[in-house]
Amino acid sequence: MISYVDVCCGLAWGDEAKGKIVAYLAKSGRYDYVCRWAGGNNAGHTVHVNNIQYVTHLVPSGIFYDIPSIIGPGCVINEESFKKEIEYLQNSGFNTGLVKISPKAHVVSDKHIEEDKNKYYKTQGTTAKGIAPCYRDKFGRIGTRAENITSLKPYMWDEKLSGAVLCEGAQGFWLDIDYGNYPYVTSSTTLPYGACSLGFSPRLIRTIYGAAKMYDTRSGTDPDFPETLLSNPDLLCIADIGQEYGATTGRRRKTNWLNIDKLIQAINTSGTTQLIMSKGDVLEEANLYRLIFDSVLVECKNINEMKETINEVLRNSCPLLLNIVYSTSPETVTGLDSEKS
C-alpha cells in the first residue's frame, strides 16, 4: 500500500537541478521507491555523491542511495543506451539490481534514431535520440513494448509500489508537449500529473518540488530563445561561469534572464508547493542581477535584492507555494519543509 507520493518536476526548459534535488531527498532514507514517469535518454541528470559527479540519462537518482529505481510505463528506452548506463553505474559501484523497467515502457529502435537525426534534429534541434518517432509509434499502436524485448526481461518491474514514493521528472514545464512552445517541445508530459501513469491516485500526491534556476537556459531550437542571445556578452558570461552545456548533447545552452512571468505560470499550473532555485552563486560571480517581470527587464543591486524581489512576486502570485529555497551547493538542498516532517 502506498502511503504518499512526492514529485519533483522542472519549471523551465530542463536542467533545473532535478537530479540534485531527487538525490538529496533520496539520501534522507524516507523513500521506498524513486520513479521516472516520462522521457528517455534525451534527459540528462547530473548528481554529486561524496564530491563525485555522476550523469544519468534514464535511471532514476534513487540508484545512488540503494533505493529501487523504476523506469515507468510512460518512458521510452533505447536498449544500447540503457545497457551502457547500467554498465557505467555498475563500474561506479552502484547496485543496478535495483533498476526496474515497466513492461509497458516502449522501445526506441535504430530506425527511430535515424528518422530523428534526418528530420527532427535538423528542423527542431532535438537530441536525435529517436524519442519523438518512438512516441509516435506508441500512440499509433504500432510500437514495441519492453516486455517483448528479451535483453530487458531481467529488469522487468512487477508494477507494484508501496510505502513512500518519490517521482523524478525529466525535461521541464516549458518543454511539455502541451504547454511548451509547440512544436519546439519534448514528446511527453513533463507536468506532475504524468507521474500518475506509474499507477497511483493523484490524491496520494503530498508535496510537489519545483526546480528552477535564477536565470533561464534552453537547449535546442526555439524562437523564444533567439540566436541573438549567443552574442550578448553579459549572458555569455553567465553561461560560461555556469558551465551551461547540455548533459546529453554537450551543446551550449542559450541563456537569458529569469522570466518570472513564466515561472509563475509554471508554479501555479504544476501545483508546486516547494520551490528550489539554484545557481544564484553564478549571478554573484558574474555580478549581474536581472529578471523579466510583467515583460519588463528589472535590474537588482545585488543577490539579496533579487531574492527579495522574487520572493515578493511569487508569494503574491502563487497561492499554493509554501516554501522557497535557494541552493548553491551541487550536492545538498537545505531548508526544505519536509526536513522537519
Catalytic positions, written as ranges: 15, 45
Q: Could you give phi then psi for residue 254, rounded to 5 degrees?
A: -75, 140
**Residue 311, Ramachandran bin (φ over 0: left; ψ between -120 and 50: alpha; else beta):** alpha
CA distance 198 to 178: 20
Write b or e for each residue in 17-34: b if 16 or more Cβ atoms lie within 10 A of its Cβ, otherwise e. Answer: bbbbbbbbbbbeebbbbb
Among 52, 105, 85, which Cα is nearest to 248's? 85
For 171, 194, 210, 258, the CA distances from 168, given in Å and listed in that order, are: 10, 11, 11, 23
Q: Are 291 and 309 in contact, with CB atoms under 8 Å apart?
A: yes
Question: For the chain, what is the radius of gyration of the CA atoms?
Answer: 19
* Three state DSSP letters for 72-135: CCCEEEEHHHHHHHHHHHHHCCCCHHHEEECCCCEEECHHHHHHHHHHHHHHHCCCCCCHHHHH
For 104, 130, 205, the CA distances from 107, given in Å and listed in that order, are: 9, 10, 28
Task: Give the containing element (helix H, strand E) for 57.
Answer: none
CA distance 310 to 307: 5
CA distance 71 to 34: 9
